[in-house]
């Protein structure tokens, strides 16, 4: 078991981008509903509620959804309930193992590093979702959009959503950004 003190994000924020960190934290992360990594549970619960409401309003039956840095797939049930299929990508095998304990109908989990080229069919997803993925990948919104755009169908949606300390300081715990992409030529 790794020394969790060395994997403390308060002393080294970059550690949350490491596979070792997530392998060590999977059980704690799952048991808390992802609350183990946030400083303000009240704001996190509201954030989670808004993400789920947005998915409920946006996702359509028959869609293919790609969830980048998906963790244990906590958003998969909401997506599948809408009649869509879910493909999650995360580099943590322990998260995949946790996901596999649930109903996996219309779901696929790929263990891969999202910072490396992914073996996915181009132009095949209606929605590419990054919930808390920007900070995990160290990307801004335009970089995220460019990195995953090859997998997006024409007229598809790329959505990056974050709950950040910056937004808390300004009295708005909800920060969402829908990345606008240009239609394919």
Q: pLDDT for 97-149, tens place per residue?
A: 888 888 889 999 999 989 889 999 999 999 999 988 887 888 888 888 889 99
Q: Of the candidates 47, 44, 100, 107, which has an alpha carbon nearest to the alpha carbon of residue 72?
A: 100
Ranges in the chain, pLDDT < 50: 1-10, 12, 15, 35-40, 166-185
Q: What number of other Cβ atoms are within 10 A of residue 164's Cβ?
A: 16
pLDDT computed for residue 86 by the predictor: 97
pLDDT computed for residue 68 by the predictor: 96
Sheet strands (E) in the chain = 64-68, 85-90, 107-111, 125-131, 152-162, 175-179
Q: Of the candidates 104, 108, 97, 84, which has an alpha carbon nearest to the alpha carbon of residue 156?
A: 84
Predicted TM-score of the model (pTM): 0.76
Q: If you ran DSSP here, which 8-state letter would residue 145 be given? A: H
pLDDT computed for residue 16 by the predictor: 54
pLDDT computed for residue 17 by the predictor: 58
* Tokens standing for residue 27: 């059980």
pLDDT computed for residue 112 by the predictor: 93
Domains of the chain: 4-179 (3.40.50.150)
Query: How far, in Å, CA of 168 to CA of 175, rounded?
Result: 9
Q: Of the candidates 36, 18, 19, which has an alpha carbon nearest to the alpha carbon of residue 27?
A: 36
Q: If you ran DSSP here, which 8-state letter would residue 132 be given? A: S
Three-state DSSP class for 97? helix
* Tokens standing for residue 101: 């304990």
């Amino acid at each position: 078991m790794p020394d969790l003190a060395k994997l403390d994000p308060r002393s080294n924020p970059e550690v949350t981008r490491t596979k070792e960190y997530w392998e060590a934290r999977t059980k704690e992360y799952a048991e808390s509903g992802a609350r183990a990594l946030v400083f303000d549970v009240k704001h996190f619960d509201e954030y989670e509620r808004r993400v789920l409401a947005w998915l409920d309003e946006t996702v359509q039956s028959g869609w293919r959804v790609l969830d980048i840095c998906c963790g244990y797939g906590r958003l998969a049930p909401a997506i599948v309930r809408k009649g869509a299929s879910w493909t999650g990508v995360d580099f943590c095998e322990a998260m995949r193992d946790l996901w596999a304990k649930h109903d996996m109908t219309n779901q696929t989990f790929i263990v891969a590093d999202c910072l490396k080229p992914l073996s996915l069919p181009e132009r095949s997803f209606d929605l590419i979702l990054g919930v808390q993925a920007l900070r995990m990948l160290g990307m801004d919104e335009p970089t995220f959009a460019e990195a995953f755009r090859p997998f997006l169908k024409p007229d598809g949606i790329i959505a990056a959503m974050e709950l950040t300390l910056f937004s808390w300081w300004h009295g708005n715990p909800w920060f969402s950004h829908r990345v606008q992409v240009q239609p394919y030529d």
